[in-house]
Structure 1
Amino acid sequence: MDVSHPVPGIYRHYKGPLYEVIGVARHSETEETLVTYRALYGEYGLWVRPLGMFMETVEVDGEVTPRFALEKAFS
């Protein structure tokens, strides 16, 4: 996975739930790069998150882990 651009696929959030990354988009006014993704639980909500935030690491119990980790890439 290119650090600056997640590939479409299934990702696990550091809190446990799975999400499907659909793609990367640009905000129409600010041109900010956003990741578009869908929850794979509950009502299967569609979400966007700034690319930098999607790709960042978080610290959990003293360990650094990706906010979203790729589980399965779509070919």
Structure 2
Amino acid sequence: MTRKIETQRPYRHFKGKLYYVHNIVTHTETEEVLVSYQALYPPYGMFVRPLDMFMEEVEDGREDNITNQKYRFELYDGK
């Protein structure tokens, strides 16, 4: 099963904070696919990250994986 990132939806980072995915964008020079997202906490910073990194699995045994997630970012369902 291939994961697909849904845009205009909230995601939870494995360290517990929430982010809003605005869009999937392409770098003009390298054509690298990036995720554009925003923190849902002050000061509401905007970020981009390579799609592959956004979708990667969290390494086993990471003590900072407070949400016990499989992936770095997972779609947030309000729970």
The TM-score, its normalising length taken from structure 1, stands at 0.83
Deviation string for 1:5-36 (max 9, x for gaps)? 41120000000000000010000110000000
Which has more strand, going by share of residues? Answer: 1
- Residue 75 of structure 2 is matched in structure 1 by 70
Task: List alignment gaps of at least 5 residues for structure 1.
Answer: none
Q: Provide the rounded CA distance (Å) in 1 between the counterparts of 2:47 and 2:15.
A: 16
Letter in 1 for 2:6: V
Aligned 1:1-75 pairs, distance under 5 A: 3=3, 5-8=4-7, 9-61=9-61, 65-72=70-77
Segments of 4+ in structure 1 off by > 6 A? none
CA distance, structure 1, for counterparts of residue 13 and residue 69 of structure 2? 13
Residues 53, 36 of structure 1: alpha-carbon distance in 2 compared, 3 angstrom cutoff: same
Unaligned runs of 5+ in 2: 63-67
SS at match of 2:44: coil
Superposition RMSD on alpha carbons, in Å? 1.8
> Would the aligned equivalents of 2:14 and 2:69 in 1 still touch at CA under 8 Å?
no
Relative to the length of structure 2, the TM-score reads 0.79
| Matched residues, number | 70
